[in-house]
Structure 1
Amino acid sequence: MDIGGAFEQYLEWIRTNLGPGLDAIGAVVRAVVDALEAGLMLLPAWAWIIVFVGLAWWLSGRGVAIFTAAGMAVIAYGMDLWTATMETLALVLASTAIALAIGVPLGVAGAKRKWIQRTLRPVLDFMQTMPAFVYLIPAVLLFRIGAVPGVLATVVFAMPPVVRLTSLGIRQVPREIVEASQAFGATPWQQLWKVELPVALPTILAGINQTIMLALSMVVIAALIGAGGLGQDVLTGVTQLKIGLGFESGLAVVILAIFLDRVTQGLGGRAGEASAPKTA
């Protein structure tokens, strides 16, 4: 049985019969990416550096703020990679937003219904163990070349952690808190929005952190199908043996990754403090 051939035929059938729908999805994703890129390029590099430093100081402290100032200044003025970095950040933000819009509701549904959890588990296992490069193949077949297939391949690759950790966080909410909300007459939606999600927020934010990190790694790989950004510079450095460009673009990816990781970790820490029970 030719599984690969059957899969290719299935993708071609989807493209042939659902082409208008795919084009509409692609147009929406393209518009989101373009809007994010335009917004990130609206201010000069020095202004965004101030914003990033302030955000890092507020959420993670002075050390991370100093690293952010030095790292972003090196990207903008030492390596002249600010535009590519903002393109990469736009791709990461777009991919993460879509992954969260799909993943958080799936995680909640899995926590509420055991059959959904049992169905999701093997699917998430498959998504997490499939080599990253393989996701580029169906993305290109369905959406051609460019940022759109890169974003959608990144969504599939990066979504499992937020689904798993959202489900885990909801299931770990203490039963006493849930029963207390029920005793006060909370509806299921009120119980979810005002009790379970706030208590589970630190765990959910840990999933968001992992999703952002996976999205950044996949966006770099997606340069192979024309996603652009720093990944394109990495690819150029590898294919044309431009060692300096490859090193600089790789260093920019590392700086951006550390910044995003520390900021989201700091946000998770603040959420944990806010949800912790107060003692007299």
Structure 2
Amino acid sequence: MAMPKIPIGEGAETLVNWIDDNFGMALDIFSDMTDYMISGLNDVLLLFPPILFTLIIGIAAYFIGKKDLKLAIGSVVGLLLIDNMGLWELSMETISLVLSSAFLALLVAIPLGIISAKNEWAFHVIKPILDLMQTMPSFVYLIPAVIFFGLGNVPGLVATIVFAMPPAIRLTNLGIRQVPKELTEVADAFGSTPLQKLVKVELPTALPSIMAGVNQCIMLSLSMVVIAAMIGARGLGYQVLIGIQRVDIGQGFEAGLGIVIIAVILDRFTQHLTPK
């Protein structure tokens, strides 16, 4: 006698429908707020003419990179190439989506990483959820994102957050756990409260690991732009998707090159912001 099928898929569908039915208003508010954040950031970025924006990024790269002239010149050349390919506005849309996604992901990931480092029970609950988030194909959680938020930037942002959050949680947890016991014992000996010990000892010591998580979060957010374009997210990912649909090698390559340039600039910036 065959074992009856466990209705896992039906259960997931029931859960998604229940959330949509009972939390529709909250989801709409979240959708409006995040859409406003993405479009607002995009409007701010487009306030600057391409030449002025490129110059600002070049100067910032020079000083963030501790007078690294190669980083400054590379950033300027890359942004000028994006403008030359006619992809400036699409690139600003992509940067807005990526930075918004990374910001919201880190807003949740860093506190969860701290909690999982401080509480073994929370760690054992969060760990399998992170395994699921990292191994589940990203196309799967596009489905509930579309059900909850329709098509557009917001479901793309939500799917990106789910995909980009786990490394930041894991690396924050790892950084806090690797703080030398001698430092925490000294803090305890001086009568530090748990909050003081966290802010003044553990977080500064764990900062390199946390910043590595920030870097990975941003990079994974960028890697999702093409997939997010499948559910209506705009930007360079949408151009790549059109290139695939039309079998237009040139259009797809130019948009892909734009994504690579943005990824390299953001990666180098976050690497130089990480304490050595």
TM-score, length-normalised on structure 2? Answer: 0.95
Are the counterparts in 2 of residues 157 and 214 from structure 1 also a CA contact under 8 Å?
Answer: yes
Are the counterparts in 2 of residues 88 and 229 from structure 1 also a CA contact under 8 Å?
Answer: yes
> Quick one: which amino acid aligns to residue 79 of structure 1?
M
| Correspondence for 1:67 | 74
Q: Is structure 2 residue 127 aligned with structure 1 residue 100?
A: no
Quick one: which of 96, 100, 110 aligns to 1:90? 96
The answer for unaligned runs of 5 or more in structure 2 is 1-5
SS in 2 for 1:131: coil
Quick one: distance in 2 between partners of 1:31 and 1:241? 34
Q: How does 1:218-237 map to 2 (within 5 A)?
A: 218-237=224-243
How many residues are aligned here?
269
Quick one: which of 5, 8, 14 aligns to 2:10? 5
Aligned-pair CA distance for 1:145: 0.5
SS in 2 for 1:186: coil
| Correspondence for 1:192 | 198
| Correspondence for 2:20 | 15
| Correspondence for 1:48 | 53
Aligned-pair CA distance for 1:3: 2.3
Structure 1 stretch 210-219 or stretch 1-10: which is displaced more? 1-10
Q: How does 1:263-274 map to 2 (within 5 A)?
A: 263-268=269-274, 271-272=275-276
Quick one: distance in 1 between partners of 2:136 and 2:62? 37
TM-score, length-normalised on structure 1? Answer: 0.93
Are the counterparts in 2 of residues 107 and 165 from structure 1 also a CA contact under 8 Å?
Answer: yes
Quick one: distance in 2 between partners of 1:197 and 1:115? 21
> Quick one: which amino acid aligns to residue 190 of structure 1?
Q
Q: Is structure 2 residue 173 aligned with structure 1 residue 172?
A: no
| Correspondence for 1:278 | none
Aligned-pair CA distance for 1:2: 3.5
Quick one: distance in 1 between partners of 2:261 and 2:141? 26
Aligned-pair CA distance for 1:81: 0.3
SS in 2 for 1:133: coil
Instruction: Give every structure 1 segment of 4 or more consecutive aligned residues whose post-TM-superposition deviation is greater than 3 Å.
Output: none
> Quick one: which amino acid aligns to residue 179 of structure 1?
E
> Quick one: which amino acid aligns to residue 74 of structure 1?
L
Q: Is structure 2 residue 239 aligned with structure 1 residue 251?
A: no
Query: 1:82-135 deviations in whole A, cap 9, x for unaligned?
Result: 100010000001000100110000000001001111111111111111112222
Aligned-pair CA distance for 1:13: 1.7
Quick one: distance in 2 between partners of 1:142 and 1:6? 17
Aligned-pair CA distance for 1:254: 0.6
User: Over the residues paired in the alignment, what is the CA RMSD in angstroms?
Assistant: 1.1
> Quick one: which amino acid aligns to residue 172 of structure 1?
Q
> Quick one: which amino acid aligns to residue 59 of structure 1?
I
Are the counterparts in 2 of residues 55 and 263 from structure 1 also a CA contact under 8 Å?
Answer: no
| Correspondence for 1:35 | 40
Structure 1 stretch 165-174 or stretch 241-250: which is displaced more? 241-250
Structure 1 stretch 225-234 or stretch 129-138: which is displaced more? 129-138
SS in 2 for 1:132: coil
